[in-house]
């Protein structure tokens, strides 16, 4: 998918989310609409970092773009199911044990700090423990066999690197959900708002992936903005322990500011680096 076409689809999905948000405003009120918008922005921000990981995985395994689309489709379906499970479990646990929000807050702060200092360039995706475990369960071929997940050679069933990548993507979805669901609890615990904001954030992932795949060098510093959003949402949950509640309007303003600043800084620094290389 070209960058121009992908951007149009990203705009379409964002527009659809905003239209749904307007419906929430009309039928459920201002507070619910702000909660949906806050949840959508948080989940969309976190999904950007998840897509950077997808880019690394595909690049490491040498998966061509025509095969990436199939994996992304399966990944999105898996993410939708996982979100429903995590939302229902999360809301149930929070309703039973309100103090768990403080634990979620601590987890988010730790996750954000780790993201800031983590050097992803030194990570070897092929050395992932998940891939090693898969190799012990079923042999994996050395090269991609078209768009097939499994092939049979000499009467032996092999998994292809495409299937290995799919498993890795699904596991990253689980890790992503562990961060994203607690993060949105800093805005609301209404299961309808939590799930629908997640759904709309996820639905445009494939188009967003192709935008980042073509322009990811220009958005290298966005991950630091995402990390700061994680830290902020963690702090927002943690201060509830002291009966301090940060208003949703202020939260939205801070999240928008962090995300916008990270995008602007990314574009500015990538532009300067390009100029230096040309000189």
Sequence-distant (≥ 6) Cβ neighbours of residue 28 within 8 angstroms: none
Alpha-carbon distances, residue 277 vs 148, 264, 266, 274 (angstroms): 41, 20, 16, 5
Counted residue by residue, the chain has a size of 279
Per the CB < 8 A criterion, the answer to whether 62 and 162 are in contact is no
Q: Tell me how far apart the alpha carbons of residues 246 and 238 are, in angstroms, rounded to a whole number.
A: 11
Query: Token pair for residue 2?
Result: 């070209």
Instruction: Output the pLDDT for position 23.
Output: 95
Instruction: Output the pLDDT for position 159.
Output: 84
Q: Tell me how far apart the alpha carbons of residues 116 and 246 are, in angstroms, rounded to a whole number.
A: 24
Which contiguous run of DSSP H or E holds residue 157?
Answer: strand 156-159
Q: Go through 5-44 and write b for each residue having 16 or more CB atoms within 10 A of its CB, e for each that does not.
A: ebbebbeebbeebeebbeebbeeeeeebbbbbbbbbbbbb
Q: What's the CA angle centered on 95, arms 238 and 88, to 5 degrees?
A: 105
Instruction: Output the pLDDT for position 24.
Output: 95
Instruction: Output the pLDDT for position 18.
Output: 94
Which candidate, 118, 116, 128, 224, places its Cα nearest to that of 170? 128
CB atoms within 10 A of CB 162: 22
Q: Where are the alpha helices (DSSP H) in the chain?
A: 3-28, 30-61, 65-96, 100-117, 129-137, 161-184, 191-203, 205-215, 222-238, 248-278
Instruction: Output the pLDDT for position 279.
Output: 45
pLDDT of the chain, 279 residues: tens digit per residue: 677 888 888 889 999 999 999 999 999 999 999 999 988 988 888 777 677 777 777 777 777 777 788 888 887 787 778 777 887 788 788 878 878 888 888 888 888 888 788 765 545 555 666 777 777 788 877 777 777 888 888 888 888 878 888 888 877 777 777 777 788 888 888 889 988 998 888 887 778 877 776 666 667 777 788 888 888 888 888 888 888 888 888 888 888 898 888 888 887 876 555 554 554
Per the CB < 8 A criterion, the answer to whether 96 and 222 are in contact is no
Q: Which residue has the tokens 């967003």?
A: 208
Which contiguous run of DSSP H or E holds residue 158?
Answer: strand 156-159
Query: Token pair for residue 240?
Result: 């509830």
212 DSSP 8-state letter: H
List of long-range contacts for 239-248, beta carbons under 8 Å, 24+ apart: 240/101, 240/102, 240/105, 241/102, 248/31, 248/34, 248/35, 248/38, 248/187
Q: Tell me how far apart the alpha carbons of residues 54 and 58 are, in angstroms, rounded to a whole number.
A: 6
Instruction: Output the pLDDT for position 122.
Output: 46
């Amino acid at each position: 998918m070209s960058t121009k076409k992908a951007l149009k689809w990203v705009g379409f999905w964002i527009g659809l989310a905003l239209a749904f948000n307007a419906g929430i405003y009309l039928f459920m009120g201002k507070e619910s609409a702000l909660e949906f918008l806050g949840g959508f922005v948080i989940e969309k921000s976190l999904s950007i970092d998840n897509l950077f990981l997808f880019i690394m995985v595909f690049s490491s395994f040498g998966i061509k773009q025509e095969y990436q689309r199939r994996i992304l489709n399966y990944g999105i379906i898996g993410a939708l199911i996982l979100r429903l499970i995590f939302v229902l479990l999360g809301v149930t646990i929070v309703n039973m044990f309100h103090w768990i929000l403080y634990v979620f807050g601590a987890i988010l702060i730790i996750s954000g700090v780790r993201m800031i200092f983590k050097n992803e360039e030194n990570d070897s995706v092929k050395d992932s423990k998940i891939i090693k475990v898969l190799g012990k369960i079923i042999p994996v071929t050395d090269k991609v066999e078209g768009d097939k997940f499994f092939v049979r050679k000499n009467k032996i069933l092999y998994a292809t690197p495409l299937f290995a990548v799919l498993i890795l993507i699904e596991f990253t979805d689980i890790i992503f959900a562990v961060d994203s669901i607690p993060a949105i609890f800093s805005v609301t615990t209404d299961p309808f708002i939590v799930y629908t904001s997640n759904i709309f954030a996820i639905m445009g992932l494939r188009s967003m992936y192709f935008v980042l795949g073509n322009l990811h060098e220009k958005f290298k510093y966005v991950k630091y903005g995402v990390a700061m959003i994680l830290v902020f949402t963690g702090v927002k949950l943690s201060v509830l322990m002291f009966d301090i509640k940060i208003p949703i309007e202020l939260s939205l303003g801070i999240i928008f500011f962090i995300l916008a600043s990270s995008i602007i800084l990314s574009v500015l620094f990538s532009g300067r680096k390009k100029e230096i290389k040309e000189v």
